[in-house]
Structure 1
Amino acid sequence: MTTLSQVAQRAGVTSATVSNVLRQRGKVGADTRARVLAAVEALGYRPHLTARALAEGRAPTLALMVSSIANPFYPEFALAAEQAARQHGRFLIVCNTNDDPDIGRAYLDQIAGTLSDGVLVMNANICIEDLQATARRGATVVLGMWEKPHQPPALPCVAVDFHLAGALAARYLIALGHRKIGVMVGGGVCGVHAERERGFNDALLELGHGDAVVHRMMVHDSVEGGLQGGAAMLAAAPSITAVFATNDLPALGLMHAAADLGIKVPQQLSVIGLTDIQGAHQARPALTTVAVPTAQAAAMSVALLLELIAEPQSVAPMRIAPAPELVVRASTARRSD
């Protein structure tokens, strides 16, 4: 493997000059820079990232911790986060906890502050105390897409107004004339979608239709969870004319359940989800949903993480992402009596 000193010897400069050229630091003349780059190319030199990290006292990577990479929302977030990290000269490590807090804690112990300068955490089922302990050990921790802007956590975060997202869904269904509504809350017993449901219910109350929800159930946050839960809901409450799912995956599963039962969407049943994953517009019928700013929140989260790595703050900052937006597609229609 070619070393930095070999590049310097070939170019007739010091190792420090080669380092300055590669990192675009210091004042290096155009001719010298050209000689160094020519030597790098001729010798096939590639920087040793681990050695650089040890020398500079910082890792070249950032970590993104997610609860389940099988959930298509997280790859979409990871793609935007990776692009943002790369623009700042960093690599992104994606750590999948598979909804297991023990795996999450192991990642924190093994990666934070060693392989990675900082950790961006996305609904990884890890308690705030464990994350705070990681931060106290010197690793920067940022929570991505925090769901309660009105309740800032004890750690830095980028927040999205999921209460508003739920409210937008409720207002739209009421505007379409639906008065017998089912609600499918994703996330299982951990209740990570509670704020979305709360926004939905609060909007119904404000509109004078607090009794519009006639059936509610918790489901696993997946297409299969929506399929199974949807079949049970439609059998238990056949009068329902619309269903709000707190995530797109259960909403898509619900549409499969409706098709299996011969219920037409949207002619007999309107379905609305939340998040706007790629599969939402690819479904048939295409899914009406409330879009959250996934790409913007990912870029903001990476920017905040890097900002805090460079200049740690004693007070945990919170940045607010752009507001969610209703996206009307073919899975909803005005109630037909």
Structure 2
Amino acid sequence: MTTLMEVAQRAGVTPATVSNVLRQRGKVGAATRERVLEAVAALDYRPHLTARALAEGSTPTLALMVSSIANPFYPEFALAAERAARRSGRFLIVCNTNEDPVMLRAYLDQIAGTLSEGMLVMNAKVDFEVLRKTQARGTPVVLCLWERPETPPGIPCIAVDFAAAGALAAHHLLELGHRRIGAILAGGLDGVQAPRYEGFCATLKLENVAHPDSEVRFTTDSVQGGYQAAVQLLDEHPDLTAIFATNDLPALGAMHAAADRGLRIPEDISVIGITDIQLARESRPGLSTVAVPTEAAATLAVELLEALIDGKAGGNAPMQIAPVPVLVVRASTGPARRKKRRRQTAERSRGKR
């Protein structure tokens, strides 16, 4: 492997000059810069990031902790964060905790301050005390997609008004004439997606639309979880004309369950989710959803973390608010059908099984 010293010798400069050229720092003349770059290309030199970190006490790398890389939202967020990091000359490491708090602590202990200058942590099963300990050791931490802007977590974060997202979904269904609406909540009433359901319920209440506890199901944030929850709702409440899910994956599962029962979407039942992942755009029919500002939130998170690293962020625990979620109407939602026709359709679907 070519060393920095060999590049310097070939270019006839000091190792410090080579480093300044590669890091785009200091004042280096155009002719000298060209000579260094020619030497780098000729020797196929690649900087050793670990050695640089040891020498300089820092590394141009950020780390992103996600709870499950199998969830398609996290790769989409990671791509946006990676683009933002590269704009400032940094790299991004993605660490999958697999929803294991022990793995999260291990990553924070081993990577924070060594392989990465700062940590981006997605908002799922987070132990705030562990994050505070990481901060205390001198490594900045930013919590991504905090779902309760009205209650700052005491840790630097990017917040999204997810209660507003739930309200938007409810308004859309109500405007289409739906009054019997089932709900699928990924997690429990104390989970990270609870604000979405709270916004949904608050909107129904304002419009005097009943939503009994029997018409909500709690499940995992997955297509299969949404499928199973929708099966229960459709079997026990055949008069439902719409289903709201707190995330797109369960919403897609609900669409699959409806289709397996011979129900037409949206003629017999409408389905809406929250997030607007790529699968929502590619499903057939396309899934109506409330889009989360993924690109903007990821960019804000990286910029806030870099400001903390550079000592430019004001306040002990700054919170920035991402742009508001936006309703995206596709083919999975339509006007509510009359109860009689809906009941006949449900009876036909049961007769096929």
Q: CA deviation at 1:98?
A: 1.0
- Write the letter of the residue equivalent to 1:174: L
CA contact (8 A) 2:185 2:217 kept: yes
In structure 1, how many angstroms separate the alpha carbons of the residues matched to 2:124 and 2:96? 8
Is 2:83 the partner of 1:80?
no
Q: Which amino acid aligns with 2:8?
A: A
* Alignment of 1:54 onto 2:54: yes
Report the counterpart of residue 334 of structure 1 in structure 2: 335
- Secondary structure, aligned partner of 1:301: helix
TM-score where L is the length of structure 1: 0.96
Three-state SS of the structure 2 residue aligned to 1:158 is strand
Q: Deviations over 1:268-307 (max 9, x none)?
A: 1010100000010111111110001011111111111111
More off after superposition, 4-13 vs 95-104: 4-13
Matched residue SS, 2:215: strand
2: CA distance, partners of 1:255 / 1:294: 24
Q: Taking every aligned residue pair, what percent have the same amino acid on both sides?
A: 63
Taking the aligned partners of 1:275 and 1:221, their CA distance within structure 2 comes to: 12
Match of 1:12 in 2: 12
2:87 alignment partner AA: Q
Q: CA deviation at 1:211?
A: 4.1
- Counterparts of 1:52 and 1:294 in 2: how far apart (Å)? 32
SS of 1:64's partner is strand
Gaps of 5+ in 1: none
Q: Distance in 1 between matches of 2:270 and 2:210?
A: 19
Q: How does 1:86-105 map to 2 (within 5 A)?
A: 86-105=86-105
- State whether residues 180 and 213 of structure 1, in contact with CA within 8 Å, keep that contact through their aligned partners in structure 2: no
> Match for residue 181 of structure 2?
181
- AA of the residue aligned to 1:320: I
Distance (whole Å) between structure 2 residues aligned to residue 205 and residue 188 of structure 1: 20
User: TM-score, normalised to structure 2's length?
Assistant: 0.92
8 Å CA contact 1:188–1:220 kept in 2: the answer is no
Structure 2 residues without counterparts, runs of 5 or longer: 339-353
Report the number of matched residues.
Answer: 337
| Aligned position for 2:23 | 23
Q: Is the 8 A contact 2:187 2:219 kept in 1?
A: yes
Equivalent-residue separation in structure 1 for 2:172 and 2:334 (angstroms): 10
Taking the aligned partners of 1:210 and 1:303, their CA distance within structure 2 comes to 43
C-alpha deviation, 1:207, in angstroms: 2.2
Partner of 1:166: 166
Q: How far apart in 2 are the matches of 1:18 and 1:234?
A: 67
Q: Distance in 2 between matches of 1:50 and 1:97?
A: 23
Q: Which moved more, 1:291-300 or 1:32-41?
A: 32-41
Instruction: Supply the distance in 2 between the matched residues of 1:234 and 1:45 (Cα, whole angstroms).
Output: 62
Q: RMSD between aligned alpha carbons?
A: 1.5
User: Is the aligned partner of 1:147 residue 2:147?
Assistant: yes
